[in-house]
Amino acid sequence: MSKIETLANILLGPLLLMQGAHTRRVTPKLPEAEGEREGVAGSGKDLRVLILGDSAAAGVGASTQTEALSGQVVSRLAKDHQVLWQLWARSGLDSRALLDLLEQHPPQPFDVVLLSIGVNDVTSTLSVDQWITLQQQLIDVLRDKFAATQIVMSPLPPMHLFPALPQPLRWYLGNRAARFNTRLAGLATGNDHCTMLTTRLAPVAGSMARDGFHPGPAIYSVWADDAVEAITRRRRETASGKV
């Protein structure tokens, strides 16, 4: 735990807990996006894709999966590939729960896994060291059990800009999210199969869901653009022998 976070817990702990409880109580509970969670799209060389994670991966903030992360990623990849895709995601998942979810699925191979996890860890009491250990466990499971050749890791969003969060809770969670991201970038650099996106999912007017906490379709679009660019670049480098 950083010195700033320790000091904030000492000085602001009761207020942060009160604000967190109030925010959970008053923030609208939006549903996951409706639509298919697996399918085949496009034509060309097969590309087996798994979108995995929490409420953002599940498309909360979009009406349908077509508008959400999974649909936008698949539609872009389907221009050049036959995409065999699946979506394993659920609102409320943290990293430990995601590991449990992976345990429930039988082994099967994926060329690409697009991972979205961490917001529910940031809002917990988990330390950054504990979180990084869990991320390494996720990487190991995805590589060993699901033969993932590329794991695309999404950064935590800029929680210090979330309109649903009051101050100083917004500052506190934003600071934690930034620290988690710094460590995640180092972890991705040290794992050959991993790519961390540099997407800055900063909210602008009209881009977030009405709960002020989740992405809207416009942010999912930017996220999908960056993910597909990272996937395409990695496959191009692999084909040329650079990886």
pLDDT of residue 16: 75
CA distance 188 to 184: 6
Which residues form the domain of 174? Answer: 3-239
- Residue 208 near residue 215, CB atoms below 8 Å: yes
Cα-Cα-Cα-Cα dihedral sign, residues 81, 233, 229, 200? positive
pLDDT of residue 25: 82
pLDDT of residue 10: 65
Q: Which pair of tokens denotes residue 233?
A: 């670049």
pLDDT of residue 205: 60
- In the block, tokens 């036959």 appear at 82
CA distance 60 to 213: 10
In the chain, how many domains are there? 1
Is omega for the bond preceding 168 within 30 degrees of 0, making it cis? yes
C-alpha triplet 32, 112, 147: angle, nearest 5°: 115
Burial 193-232 (b: 16+ CB within 10 A, else e): bbbbbebebebeeebbbebebbbbbbbbbbbbebbbebbe
pLDDT of residue 26: 78
pTM of the predicted protein model: 0.91
CA distance 118 to 55: 10
Low-confidence ranges of the chain (pLDDT < 70): 1-3, 5, 7-13, 201-206, 242-243
For residue 125, the domain's CATH number is: 3.40.50.1110
For residue 140, how far is the Cα from the chain centroid?
17
DSSP 66-124: TTSHHHHHHHHHTTTEEEEEEEEE-TT--HHHHHHHHHHSPP---SEEEEE--HHHHTS
- Residue 19 near residue 169, CB atoms below 8 Å: yes
Is omega for the bond preceding 31 within 30 degrees of 0, making it cis? no
pLDDT of residue 15: 78
CA distance 218 to 100: 31
Q: How many CA atoms lie within 13 A of 230 on its CB side?
A: 23
What φ, ψ does residue 38 adopt, rounded to 5°?
Answer: -165, 160
CA distance 174 to 162: 9
